Structure 1
């Protein structure tokens, strides 16, 4: 089996991390595992396994013919049979399919908000879906949406998984008081909803209790970022709320944290929650997408409506007030992750679906 993961960048993000994780894990299980990045690299490049065949296309526009020929040549040279396109890279996958029809093309959807969208907002995707051999999705809401709206005949739910790399250099040391650090692992962009976290932190006056807040994720230096930084400054929270930008040493960062927080207004199946679980962190999570199926409220974490600041305050107060509760939540979540979302189980399921696809006409 010779499989290529296709992704638009290696910036730190959910789809990007999954494409990388798949490529790395498959390199231990199949004849050839490849990863092609269509546009630009990023911080995740450092985590690429040496066994993975790799190519950067540097596409300059949607119809960059030079890049497409380069991709076709790579696929032919390595005798790729399955191209697994993640997120927005599906269009490049379709162009490749038109140039080289022999491949089986899979589209993997990670974007949770798609389940709320009309097909009229996805006409290009609808057209392209006629070229997909099958579609993978990260939650059952997306599976229903894909079955109802796309022309793909086969749609499969494939759960996410997360792994930690012990070889990554420990470079990030969190500020703030030990055992009172709240971490939010999410890029600074919509719909990650950092502003709701800031408002709750400020209204609860958590700085007076010694708590600190740490945002780990790509800072795009845009209007969204400016709003967050202005809020922090205007509320005199500079010594208690910290923005770190992209980081590779996630395992090391989470080992220093006390609570893991996610407040997105839309999600598919966030890898962040899996990483919190692996790190044995108690979790306070948004209740959108697959999150409430993964986090059982008051058992393996606490859930809240991301549009309700007061509800977040109540749940956050409950979390910071009960150390024994935090320990219980963390243990239950870690057990859930290890039992149901291990690399081994997900990769076995993935390979099984690849084989089914390869054997179909």
Structure 2
């Protein structure tokens, strides 16, 4: 199918700040720039990120109050009937309403975009076994990392040829760099336990005891209030209030990225964090835990430093190397920026996406 004839309707719960939400916005903008007819339907609330959608006329808000909000679901049906998309692209938990649509409008192809990183903890706490009951209604599963792809292949949610990993891609506004004199690290992630803010604060405590001068900025939405409280308490306990700032999420991260020297991923598990790719576009030197697709994106250490998760000593060691050798960090960031621009841009994503859509329609023909 030619991209000129393709019509895509994305469905996502909110446009609050988060990796899946940023990807939905990036995809909407990439589709628009490529001339692909598309809508971005938001179930519950627009959030801060809706301002970043370039084509505002493609946005729809359902005002969904709960899972069984039939009024909102009826609105979705009306939008779908009017737009008549080839693809219904459901992000995360929106797959459940996507399956509901398939029962009523079986002609539309349902792609489920699973952004969740897989770990033993996730499998135990959230195995999502209920998806096996509705897997027959999902036409294609798109994952943000190879491990999640392998997980769904093993679970046989759909046929293996209907599961693919397609790397996320970043998008930033162009702003002038405004670096402070003190070496500054950025951790861009919502406040949830798996994002590793406590690990990073412990590492900062180790550096502080050595008398090093640095700053750490933790920026993200409060998703887990108990976790954020723990982060704030640890910062106070280690007397790091002057060196570690805890900030709310921002609509456009471009300015923040221009004000720091290094980006950190401290997570216990990940898919492919959009923040990591944004660090690359901003030419930041990166330190990341060895989770999800992060090692692959960083060339297994060629374009950034890799450390074990939940290991503040290892994280502190690499942070110290950046602080004491800022020119080396600068060069590493520039190399990473070139790597991301070449391999993880919107053009690469669109090419892969259109290819898998073609395969999806060809699979359907061969099965009929």
**TM class, shorter-length:** over 0.9
Change (3 A) 1:54 1:276: same
Q: Which moved more, 1:17-26 or 1:325-334?
A: 325-334
Structure 1 CA distance for aligned equivalents of residues 334 and 89 of structure 2: 34
| CA offset digits 1:336-356 (Å, max 9, x no partner) | 101111111111211222233
Other-structure match for 1:35: 40
Other-structure match for 2:172: 164
- TM-score, normalised to structure 2, is 0.91
Q: Alpha-carbon deviation of 1:207? A: 8.8
For the Cα contact (< 8 Å) 2:147–2:292, is it kept in 1? yes
The answer to whether structure 1 residue 100 and structure 2 residue 132 are counterparts is no
For the Cα contact (< 8 Å) 1:260–1:281, is it kept in 2? yes
Other-structure match for 1:282: 285
Other-structure match for 1:296: 299
Other-structure match for 1:211: 214
Q: CA RMSD in A?
A: 2.3
Structure 1 residues 42-121: aligned runs within 5 Å: 42-50=47-55, 53-113=58-118, 117=123, 121=127
Other-structure match for 2:242: 239
| CA offset digits 1:175-228 (Å, max 9, x no partner) | xx5241111011111210100100110122179432111011112471111111
Q: Which runs of 4+ in 1 moved over 4 A?
A: none
The answer to whether structure 1 residue 310 and structure 2 residue 325 are counterparts is no
The answer to whether structure 1 residue 136 and structure 2 residue 133 are counterparts is no
Q: Alpha-carbon deviation of 1:299? A: 2.3
Q: Alpha-carbon deviation of 1:150? A: 3.4
Structure 1 residues 213-232: aligned runs within 5 Å: 213-220=216-223, 222-232=225-235
Local SS of the residue matching 1:317: helix
Other-structure match for 1:190: 193
Q: Alpha-carbon deviation of 1:12? A: 0.8
Other-structure match for 1:265: 268
Stretches of structure 1 that go unaligned for 5 or more consecutive residues are none
Structure 2 CA distance for aligned equivalents of residues 238 and 179 of structure 1: 16
Structure 1 residues 244-255: aligned runs within 5 Å: 244-255=247-258
Structure 1 CA distance for aligned equivalents of residues 252 and 127 of structure 2: 37
Q: Pick one of 122, 127, 131 that aligns with 2:133.
A: 127
For the Cα contact (< 8 Å) 1:119–1:126, is it kept in 2? no
Change (3 A) 1:207 1:237: farther
How many residues end up aligned between the 2 structures?
A: 356
For the Cα contact (< 8 Å) 1:296–1:302, is it kept in 2? no
For the Cα contact (< 8 Å) 1:33–1:52, is it kept in 2? no
Other-structure match for 2:3: none
Structure 2 CA distance for aligned equivalents of residues 106 and 118 of structure 1: 25
Structure 1 CA distance for aligned equivalents of residues 323 and 250 of structure 2: 26
The answer to whether structure 1 residue 350 and structure 2 residue 336 are counterparts is no
Local SS of the residue matching 2:142: strand
